[in-house]
Chains A and B, each alone.
Chain A
Amino acid sequence: MSYRILPKLLKNMLSKPMTVKFPHESIPIPDRYRGEHKYDIDNCISCGLCAKICPNRAIEMIELPKEYKEKYPKTYPKIDLGKCCFCGLCEDICPKDSISLTKNVFLSTFDPSTVIKEPLPTIKGGKEKK
């Protein structure tokens, strides 16, 4: 056996691992990270630029259900996270900064209906969430 390996071995034994134990600690995510969208309906002017620039056509401008029509009469973006490629062009083009990408990376789900982000969080598939 070659003894040249010993210093390296000792160093490796005493050094910390390259990885972290995930649920207990995690690597900090930088501010620019492009994760889940945050949408502010009260700021939105319904210009539809986000739907037009989206390369994957993941954003669709829809009308809200009847009970919200009085307060929000225009069309608002419905985001399909399944189609989204998280490029952040909608964030860049929005004139009112009402769409922005957050640092939330935990997007995997067992429920397909949660993949679609309605303009108001209380709407789910056109019906109110119970």
Chain B
Amino acid sequence: MIEEMEPAPKGTEYDFYFGPAHPGSGNFGVKLKIDGEIVVSARADPGYLHRGFEKLMEYRTPIQNAVLSDRLCILEPLNWNLVHAEAVDELMGIEVPERAKYIRVIMAELSRIQSHIIWYGVFSKGTGFDTGFKMAFGYRDYILDLFELITGGRVYPAGYICPGGVRRDFPDNAKMKILKVLDKMNKMIKLGELENPAMDARSKDVGVLKLKDAIRLGVTGPVLRGSGMNVDVRKEEPYEVYDRLDFEVPVRKKGDAYARYCIGIEEMKQSVKIVKQALEDLPDGDVIETSLKKPKLSYKIPEGEVYVRNEIARGEAAIYMVSNGNSTPYRVKVRGPDFLHMIPVLEHLLKGVQIADVPAVYWSLNICPADMDR
């Protein structure tokens, strides 16, 4: 990176590094060329969090991969668990019990809520609204307490959603506790919805992503819905029990940072609605397929290939898995939503914005460096 720096031809032009050690950027950097206060061009600088998941997964059995899939994205491990588990289920032809399907949906939606709360928090921090950051991380802890109760880990569930179902049933008091936490989440959503003139000024008409550009650059999820396209894998290609649940897909036309922020808040509301419905309909029965109750050492994955896509908090996540009949997959390709959000889209959006708006644009995209680098 250092060799690429050129001496500034004019007195007003200079290079500026946003990250990777910046407190507001995560393990990811952006190299900005700046003229005065305007960003002339931006260059993403990824690779600080590369761990090589696709290769690691080729050496592990599905249950070990379920544990590994937590680490794909730190901010929403349960959603990635679900994508991986679905891919293996489809490849092996496993019938997942009804109760497990509902539990999977409840956990995935709770994970989506906490991920969106982080989004709200870091976006507030990026726009200089520190109270929002502290409030968000305080409320997120209630959901982490729930995860601790149900899965045994606050952040990493260790493959709670595993091939064949889920690893453990809900404890007896889980239903009541989830409902209590949902009330708290409603409070958080109300606080997030409050009109905040400072945040409005920092986010309205900032980082406008037009629908045409969004489609060209491969945007998915809340960012694309913020630009005015009604897409959601949960509606288009319902997985688990999403086809039986009633929820809406929020869409905004404007495509600026404020529209994306509104989408985040609306989606939290919808997720609360989904969890409540799923809790009501939760049937009794097994939570995992009988043959997989104890973790197995040798799997017989039938030959074949499968492509499974899910709607996670950040966008569309997918896993392409090929098996040649061994107990480990032959090839796993992980498609995360953030690779496209963080490199082409960010570089496109940062061109021409003021230097003070860089964090607002950066955080409004709901990004996760861990998922991008993989």
Of the residues A29, A52, A86, contact of B297 by C-beta under 8 Å: A52
Report chain B residues within 8 Å CB of A18: 138, 141
Contact in complex: B64, A55 (CB < 8 Å): yes
Of the residues A33, A52, A53, contact of B152 by C-beta under 8 Å: A33
Instruction: Using A53-B63, A55-B60, A93-B294 as known contacts, say yes or no to A88 and B138 having CB atoms under 8 A apart.
Output: no
Give per-residue flags for B144-159: 1 if the beta carbon is below 8 A from chain A beta carbons, else 0. Answer: 0100111111001011
Instruction: Using A34-B153, A55-B68, A88-B158 as known contacts, say yes or no to A93 and B148 having CB atoms under 8 A apart.
Output: no
B contact residues, range: 20 to 34
Closest approach, in angstroms, between the C-beta of A62 and any C-beta of chain B? 20
Of the residues A32, A34, A89, A93, contact of B149 by C-beta under 8 Å: A32
In the complex, whether B7 has a CB less than 8 A from a CB of chain A is: no
Q: Which residue of B lies closest to A92 (CB)?
A: B295
Alpha-carbon gap, A33 to B148, bound state (A): 7
Known: A49-B297, A87-B67, A87-B159. 20 other contacts (CB 8 A): A18-B141, A27-B145, A30-B148, A30-B152, A30-B171, A31-B171, A32-B150, A32-B152, A32-B168, A34-B152, A34-B153, A34-B158, A53-B297, A85-B67, A88-B158, A89-B67, A89-B159, A92-B167, A93-B294, A93-B297
Q: Kindly identify, within residues 322 to 366 of chain B, every residue whose CB is under 8 Å from any CB belonging to chain A.
A: none
Report chain B residues within 8 Å CB of A52: 297
Contact in complex: B294, A92 (CB < 8 Å): yes
Contact in complex: A93, B67 (CB < 8 Å): no
25 contacts between A and B (CB under 8 A): A18-B141, A30-B149, A30-B152, A32-B150, A32-B151, A32-B152, A32-B168, A32-B171, A33-B148, A33-B153, A49-B297, A53-B63, A55-B68, A85-B67, A85-B158, A87-B67, A87-B159, A89-B63, A89-B64, A89-B67, A89-B159, A89-B295, A92-B167, A93-B294, A101-B152
* Residue among B67, B145, B150 with most chain A CB within 10 A: B67
Q: Kindly identify, within residues 88 to 121 of chain A, every residue whose CB is under 8 Å from any CB belonging to chain B.
A: 88-89, 92-93, 101
Report chain B residues within 8 Å CB of A86: 153, 158
**Which residues does B use to contact A, with CB under 8 Å?**
60, 63-64, 67-68, 138, 141, 145, 148-153, 156, 158-159, 167-168, 171, 294-295, 297
Contact in complex: B294, A87 (CB < 8 Å): no
Contact in complex: A53, B64 (CB < 8 Å): yes
Report chain B residues within 8 Å CB of A33: 148, 152-153
Closest approach, in angstroms, between the C-beta of B370 and any C-beta of chain A? 15
Closest approach, in angstroms, between the C-beta of B265 and any C-beta of chain A? 20
Give the number of A-B contacts (CB < 8 Å): 55
Report chain A residues within 8 Å CB of B63: 53, 89
Report chain A residues within 8 Å CB of B297: 49, 52-53, 93
Closest approach, in angstroms, between the C-beta of B66 and any C-beta of chain A? 9
Q: Kindly identify, within residues 57 to 95 of chain A, every residue whose CB is under 8 Å from any CB belonging to chain B.
A: 85-89, 92-93
* Residue among A34, A55, A92 with most chain B CB within 10 A: A55
* Residue among A29, A52, A85 with most chain B CB within 10 A: A85
Of the residues A32, A49, A55, contact of B67 by C-beta under 8 Å: A55
Contact in complex: B295, A93 (CB < 8 Å): yes
Alpha-carbon gap, A29 to B63, bound state (A): 26
Closest approach, in angstroms, between the C-beta of B228 and any C-beta of chain A? 35
Closest approach, in angstroms, between the C-beta of B332 and any C-beta of chain A? 15
Alpha-carbon gap, A77 to B219, bound state (A): 48
Alpha-carbon gap, A26 to B64, bound state (A): 33
Report chain B residues within 8 Å CB of A32: 148-152, 168, 171
Alpha-carbon gap, A92 to B167, bound state (A): 9
Report chain A residues within 8 Å CB of B138: 18
Alpha-carbon gap, A87 to B63, bound state (A): 11
Alpha-carbon gap, A87 to B162, bound state (A): 12
Instruction: Using A32-B171, A55-B60 as known contacts, say yes or no to A87 and B150 having CB atoms under 8 A apart.
Output: no
Closest approach, in angstroms, between the C-beta of B154 and any C-beta of chain A? 9
Closest approach, in angstroms, between the C-beta of B151 and any C-beta of chain A? 7
Alpha-carbon gap, A33 to B149, bound state (A): 7
Closest approach, in angstroms, between the C-beta of A99 and any C-beta of chain B? 13
Report chain B residues within 8 Å CB of A53: 63-64, 295, 297
Report chain B residues within 8 Å CB of A49: 297
Closest approach, in angstroms, between the C-beta of B173 and any C-beta of chain A? 10
Alpha-carbon gap, A25 to B145, bound state (A): 17
Report chain A residues within 8 Å CB of B145: 27
Report chain A residues within 8 Å CB of B168: 32
Q: Which residue of B lies closest to A93 (CB)?
A: B295
Report chain A residues within 8 Å CB of B150: 32
Closest approach, in angstroms, between the C-beta of A50 and any C-beta of chain B? 11
